[in-house]
Structure 1
């Protein structure tokens, strides 16, 4: 017999995705801390935005999409284009949490989630038909359903290349980047072909010498990014996760925007891209043809992976390393419909997270048979 849960739905993460889920659960009439609970490991509101580098301003960041029910613009003072994203966006999230009374509990990390099929992996849990989320600091939440919205920021990815451990200079991921000025007088190798790589390459190449290295030839988009381009990118990723494959790169479909900043970089030679090196040596990198580049710093702008380690005992991944997803917007784990993932696959973008938040809230409450009373949260 199933035991009584602490809450019907546990939401892990309070970034764009988690707050969107909370909003839609409130609209369905669920009560925070009684019917659902949101926990977040960050010290304050703002998701990953609060950890972005200081030079990332609202004028340089990719568009910040509004959370449902409240405009980002209404929280900004006049002339705020140069405001730091790491300040402005968390302020918006904080006001949003208060307006819709989401009652996020932080800082709380979920270390592991178990169920009755994994009792041997999680010896502290009871076999009672519920999902058990073990929290840090020490507590356990028993829940009937789970929405995982942990995103990717806490899972920076650095590929291994032979000799990396011998490098005498500094290696860091874009996750840990703060300012270009710390690299003055050093030669920096920037690795990666995404928007973040280009942004950081732009900043660093203005204060010191750089080498840009990518696995594939970057494709720049001169035409304006149209809605159909976004839909094509999302459809590609959605198709992969519905087939149980790991999500692919969206940049391969959308390309990199050719704006004034990129044209300036091209003019000063910062976009003279080199192919991926063969291995790393103590004082630089060496290509397969024998060519060598001395380097003091290797900056890996090589993306992130979904932060899902705490779900490992549930054995959600298939043989190919991906998680087979279903539901209207591919947020539902096919092998366990009690679990929805937002920020995985097509819902990884901010606008995708908004749409997925509603889909997950509606589908999960329906699957669990939770009575809903649709309403608009009070402003």
Structure 2
């Protein structure tokens, strides 16, 4: 996990302009954020050293990466020279292994099984981090997927003979096609507000949330209108001296089931943005918040009474321009994540709108690169479908066949 996310000391948010600490920003620009992982790898190679050839390189071993690897294997590519998966995490489980222990499997949102192997009979009371990590581990073993870890991808750039050069501390790779499935967990988003460095309490991001007990007797402000923010508030409220919920926009609570039609509409909205080269929307901005029994109780009890976004942070809390203020011991930023794609920067894939324009999963600016688990494929079921589609497109590329315009 990222040390910069911990706000256990006064004012412990050393943010740069990107919303990350200076140290984390430089590490993320290199493709990783955990120095301990680098220490376990052999010293990095240089660009002049020989790179290992591979047909397809998959970066990331979460739902999207494993789905892609499964379909690569099924289409006949052999582990090793055919395809390899690089994962920077220390063990199987994708981002799920880092989730807080109180997020049990029974409350995760529509976790879909990976292709070819059902996740059945899981205990809903167990932490999702344990259940899904064990499932991913069993999946990698069952299909003999060539996952190398921990390996941090520092950069992807143009190589020789039409290949992409993938640079890592564990050696370089020369690949004919790249599936990027790095998700968002390694890029927690920290908004910037005046006075942020002056706060004398603790600031932390969802990525470092470990459960409600540590907030006992404290005054906690939760910032963010997504599912994580509401979950944090409902967990923390019985322990804290006081909780305050602050969001940029009024929350929209969704009544009724999130059926297939709603799902298609949400995917279409996100898909349209990435086709235009715009950054993907957040999940909650297109789906709304579910109105579960727990949500309804929390709203009735006032736990989810929302305040508009404050204007500044003070040493003792937050303040609005009308003079209203709320004192706090903790600010918990449930403000989401951004796509972890800094390592792709040398390829200059971003459009003027700030995003990467896709046709399906294929990057329009470079058909050798596919983004799986990005934009409309950011859900678990979307990642499964996107992995299959990406592999189908890549097989045509490898065969020298034209890809769709």
User: TM-score normalised to the size of structure 1?
Assistant: 0.90
CA RMSD for the aligned pairs? 1.5
Does the CA contact (< 8 Å) of 2:51 and 2:172 recur in 1? no
Determine whether 1:282 maps to 2:325: no
Provide runs of 4+ in structure 1 moved above 4 Å.
Answer: none
1:225-236 equivalence runs, <5 A: 225-236=258-269
Q: Give, in whole Å, the separation in 2 of the partners of 1:9 and 1:252.
A: 34
SS of the equivalent of 1:337 reads strand
In the superposition, relative to structure 1, how do residues 263 and 82 fare at CA in structure 2: closer, same or farther (>3 Å)? same
> What are the Cα deviations for residues 143-165 of structure 1, in whole angstroms up to 9, with x where unaligned?
11100000000000011111111
SS of the equivalent of 1:41 reads coil
In the superposition, relative to structure 1, how do residues 42 and 4 fare at CA in structure 2: closer, same or farther (>3 Å)? closer
Determine whether 1:310 maps to 2:340: no
Q: Give the structure 1 partner of residue 78 of structure 2.
A: 31
Q: Give, in whole Å, the separation in 2 of the partners of 1:359 and 1:111.
A: 26
Q: Give, in whole Å, the separation in 1 of the partners of 2:283 and 2:110.
A: 16
Instruction: Say which is worse superposed, 172-181 or 222-231, in terms of deviation.
Output: 222-231
Q: Give the structure 2 partner of residue 178 of structure 1.
A: 210
> What are the Cα deviations for residues 94-136 of structure 1, in whole angstroms up to 9, with x where unaligned?
11111111021111110111105xxxxxxxxxx4432111112
Q: For 2:67, which of 20, 24, 29 is the aligned residue? A: 20
Q: Give, in whole Å, the separation in 2 of the partners of 1:348 and 1:136.
A: 28
Q: Give the structure 1 partner of residue 7 of structure 2.
A: none
Q: For 1:54, which of 101, 116, 132 is the aligned residue? A: 101
Q: Give the structure 1 partner of residue 141 of structure 2.
A: 98
SS of the equivalent of 2:168 reads strand
For residue 265 of structure 1, report the CA deviation from its aligned partner.
Answer: 0.9
Does the CA contact (< 8 Å) of 2:216 and 2:239 recur in 1? yes
Does the CA contact (< 8 Å) of 2:155 and 2:167 recur in 1? yes
For residue 69 of structure 1, report the CA deviation from its aligned partner.
Answer: 0.6
For residue 253 of structure 1, report the CA deviation from its aligned partner.
Answer: 2.5
For residue 252 of structure 1, report the CA deviation from its aligned partner.
Answer: 2.2
Q: Give the structure 2 partner of residue 124 of structure 1.
A: none
Q: For 2:157, which of 108, 114, 126 is the aligned residue? A: 114
Q: Give the structure 2 partner of residue 69 of structure 1.
A: 116
Does the CA contact (< 8 Å) of 1:5 and 1:144 recur in 2? no
> What are the Cα deviations for residues 196-232 of structure 1, in whole angstroms up to 9, with x where unaligned?
1111111011211100000111011121111111111
For residue 267 of structure 1, report the CA deviation from its aligned partner.
Answer: 2.4
Q: Give the structure 1 partner of residue 56 of structure 2.
A: 9
Q: Give the structure 2 partner of residue 213 of structure 1.
A: 246
Q: Give the structure 2 partner of residue 322 of structure 1.
A: 355
User: TM-score normalised to the size of structure 2?
Assistant: 0.85
Q: How many residues align?
A: 351
Q: Give, in whole Å, the separation in 1 of the partners of 2:82 and 2:96.
A: 28
> What are the Cα deviations for residues 47-97 of structure 1, in whole angstroms up to 9, with x where unaligned?
0011100001011211211000110116x3xxx110110101010001111
> What are the Cα deviations for residues 347-379 of structure 1, in whole angstroms up to 9, with x where unaligned?
1111110000000011012112179xxxxxxxx
SS of the equivalent of 2:100 reads coil
> What are the Cα deviations for residues 295-348 of structure 1, in whole angstroms up to 9, with x where unaligned?
11110101100000111111000111111111xxx2100000000011211011
For residue 268 of structure 1, report the CA deviation from its aligned partner.
Answer: 2.0
Q: Give, in whole Å, the separation in 2 of the partners of 1:253 and 1:360.
A: 24
> What are the Cα deviations for residues 169-198 of structure 1, in whole angstroms up to 9, with x where unaligned?
111100110011111111100001111111
Q: Give, in whole Å, the separation in 1 of the partners of 2:146 and 2:72.
A: 13
Q: Give, in whole Å, the separation in 2 of the partners of 1:319 and 1:358.
A: 29
Q: Give the structure 1 partner of residue 391 of structure 2.
A: 361
Does the CA contact (< 8 Å) of 1:188 and 1:295 recur in 2? yes
Q: For 1:351, which of 381, 390, 399 is the aligned residue? A: 381
Does the CA contact (< 8 Å) of 1:212 and 1:272 recur in 2? yes
Q: Give, in whole Å, the separation in 2 of the partners of 1:298 and 1:168.
A: 10
Q: Give the structure 1 partner of residue 129 of structure 2.
A: 86
Q: Give the structure 2 partner of residue 122 of structure 1.
A: none
Q: Give the structure 1 partner of residue 332 of structure 2.
A: 299
Q: For 1:163, which of 182, 186, 195 is the aligned residue? A: 195
Which residues of structure 1 form unaligned runs of 5+? Answer: 117-126, 372-379
Q: Give, in whole Å, the separation in 1 of the partners of 2:172 and 2:218.
A: 49
Does the CA contact (< 8 Å) of 2:255 and 2:291 recur in 1? yes
In the superposition, relative to structure 1, how do residues 282 and 355 fare at CA in structure 2: closer, same or farther (>3 Å)? same
